[in-house]
């Protein structure tokens, strides 16, 4: 565990900082969009939601790719995007699992804060398990294909 942690720490940290920066910029975009009335606001919101979906897709794949395969950060990001596009069902399931807390917060804010401790204890483990299960199947299929070449 510690050897793998040490090997992947630098890439993981760079990707985390990149994700944080992108999330910060997207949050600022949504906040500004809510404060300013501009023509084409609906179109801008749709574009921002598509960007959010792409960012969550790439981030859902890139960290497991770093843990499983040895590549450069740029190659991991490219592979994450390619996997996200080429495996739409897995991608949608990963995005739903990873965005579930945020969707729940937006849909039921009062309930969210009532169940937050339970949600934190149960959902973090359940989400990690579901992500691992989905990605393990996908990675095994990819490795079987690459081994067969």
Note down pLDDT in tens along the chain; length 149 residues: 677 778 889 999 999 999 999 999 999 999 999 998 888 899 999 999 999 999 999 999 999 999 888 899 999 999 999 999 999 999 999 999 999 888 888 888 888 888 888 888 888 899 999 999 999 999 998 888 878 76
b/e map 101-112, b = 16+ CB within 10 Å: beebeeeeeeeb
Question: What's the confidence (pLDDT) of residue 89?
Answer: 95
Q: What is the pLDDT of residue 23?
A: 95
Angle, helices 41-68 vs 88-107, to 10°: value is 120
d(CA 80, CA 74): 10
pTM: 0.86
Supply the pLDDT for residue 1: 63
Phi (first) and psi of residue 69, to 5 degrees: -125, 155
**Looking at residue 45, what is its pLDDT?**
93
């Amino acid at each position: 565990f510690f050897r793998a942690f040490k090997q992947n720490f630098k890439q993981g940290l760079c990707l985390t900082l990149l994700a944080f920066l992108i999330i910060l910029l997207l949050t600022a975009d949504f906040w500004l969009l809510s404060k300013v009335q501009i023509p084409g606001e609906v179109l801008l919101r749709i574009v921002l939601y598509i960007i959010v979906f792409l960012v969550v897709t790439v981030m859902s794949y890139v960290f497991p790719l770093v843990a499983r395969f040895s590549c450069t950060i740029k190659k991991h990001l490219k592979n994450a995007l390619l996997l996200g596009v080429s495996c739409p069902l897995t991608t949608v399931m990963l995005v739903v699992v990873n965005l579930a807390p945020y969707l729940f917060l937006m849909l039921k804010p009062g309930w969210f804060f009532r169940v937050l401790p339970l949600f934190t204890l149960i959902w973090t483990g359940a989400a990690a398990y579901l992500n691992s299960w989905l990605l393990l199947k996908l990675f095994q299929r990819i490795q079987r294909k690459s081994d067969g070449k």
